């Protein structure tokens, strides 16, 4: 593993990649969710993971619930990666929202865009939440019950009281970020957007995945893979293979232009 800085790590570092994919975590998740992705890609593609404060090796840091603060701090660490080597973004659930917002942030403040944006298990940002339920300020016991219902947290986690105690502030901060999110009227992106949904996701509808098309003036594709909200894990190999098909085209295109 290589830790480029506190925000960006790679479990399979590549000395001279032709393309990088930056993966954003879901709520309560961390970079470890993508630790096996490097197994699926050839040696000219590097998988880099965004590690937010309050999780993984940053567990003892205070989590951040402010989207603008995350964008600014990540932006400070990211600019060196935007020079010379093409890159794409992927995000799952909350990570999809972060990837979209960071794409807009880079475009607005640095006139930089990824080659493509891959998003999964999150409604198009311009759509309102389907309900106004607020979970981030629930009592701990009720919030833990909600996490069990979502089926994205391993069972062993709930049997580790010390880890639960350390993790709950981060989970609450992530939920606050998502539940208090207010969409800004951004200009359309000029990059391809690829949106993925789970065929049995009770949280995110097929139409809300297809609605990502409204955020780009470039090409758009939506695909639905077997699984619930966390098909990211249950259909991992299939998901990565779909992403790789696009990334290979980007690599080949960059080779022709060089």
- pLDDT means per 10 residues, the chain with 258 residues, are 93 94 95 95 95 93 96 94 91 98 96 97 94 84 84 80 89 94 95 98 95 98 96 96 95 67
Residues 6+ apart with CB under 8 A from 1: 9, 10, 11, 13
Rg of the chain taking only CA atoms, in angstroms:
17
Q: Counting Cβ atoms within 10 Å, is residue 22 exposed (0-12), middle (13-18) or buried (19+)?
A: buried
Instruction: Supply the pLDDT for residue 155.
Output: 82
Q: For residue 52, what are the CA distances in angstroms to 29, 58, 87? A: 9, 7, 19
Q: Does 66 participate in catalysis according to the annotation?
A: no
Tally of domains within the chain? 1
Instruction: Supply the pLDDT for residue 153.
Output: 77
Q: For residue 41, what are the CA distances in angstroms to 44, 47, 200, 233? A: 8, 8, 27, 17
Instruction: Supply the pLDDT for residue 145.
Output: 87
Instruction: Supply the pLDDT for residue 132.
Output: 77
d(CA 232, CA 200) in angstroms, rounded, equals 12
Range of the domain at 52: 2-257
DSSP-assigned letter for residue 91: E
pTM, 2 dp? 0.93
CB 25 within 8 A of CB 52: yes
What is the per-residue pLDDT across 136-181, written as a single tens digit (0 to 9) for each?
988 888 988 888 887 667 788 888 888 888 889 999 999 999 999 9
CATH number at residue 83: 3.40.50.1820
The catalytically annotated residue of 93, 120, 167, 235 is 93
CB 88 within 8 A of CB 250: yes
What is the per-residue pLDDT across 76-87, written as a single tens digit (0 to 9) for each?
999 888 888 999
């Amino acid at each position: 593993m290589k830790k480029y800085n506190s925000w960006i790590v790679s479990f399979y570092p590549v000395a001279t990649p032709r393309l990088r994919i930056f993966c954003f975590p879901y709520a309560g998740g961390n970079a470890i969710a993508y630790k096996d992705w490097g197994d699926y890609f050839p040696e000219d593609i590097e998988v880099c993971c965004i590690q937010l404060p309050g999780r993984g090796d940053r567990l003892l840091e205070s989590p951040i619930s402010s989207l603008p603060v995350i964008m600014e701090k990540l932006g400070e660490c990211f600019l060196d990666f935007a020079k010379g080597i093409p890159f794409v973004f992927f995000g799952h659930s909350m990570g999809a929202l972060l990837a979209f917002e960071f794409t807009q942030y880079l475009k607005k403040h640095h006139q930089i865009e990824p080659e493509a944006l891959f998003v999964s298990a999150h409604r198009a940002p311009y759509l309102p939440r389907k309900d106004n339920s607020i979970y981030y300020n629930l009592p701990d016991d009720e919030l833990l019950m909600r996490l069990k219902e979502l089926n994205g947290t391993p069972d062993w986690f709930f049997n580790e009281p010390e880890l639960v105690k350390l993790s709950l502030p981060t989970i609450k901060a992530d939920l606050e970020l998502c539940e208090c999110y207010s969409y800004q009227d951004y200009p359309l992106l000029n990059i391809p957007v690829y949106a993925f949904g789970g065929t049995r996701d009770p949280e995110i509808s097929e139409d809300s995945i297809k609605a990502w098309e409204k955020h780009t003036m470039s090409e758009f594709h939506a695909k639905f893979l077997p699984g619930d909200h966390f098909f990211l894990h249950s259909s991992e190999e299939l998901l990565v293979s779909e992403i790789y098909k696009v990334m290979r085209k980007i690599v080949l295109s960059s080779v022709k232009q060089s």
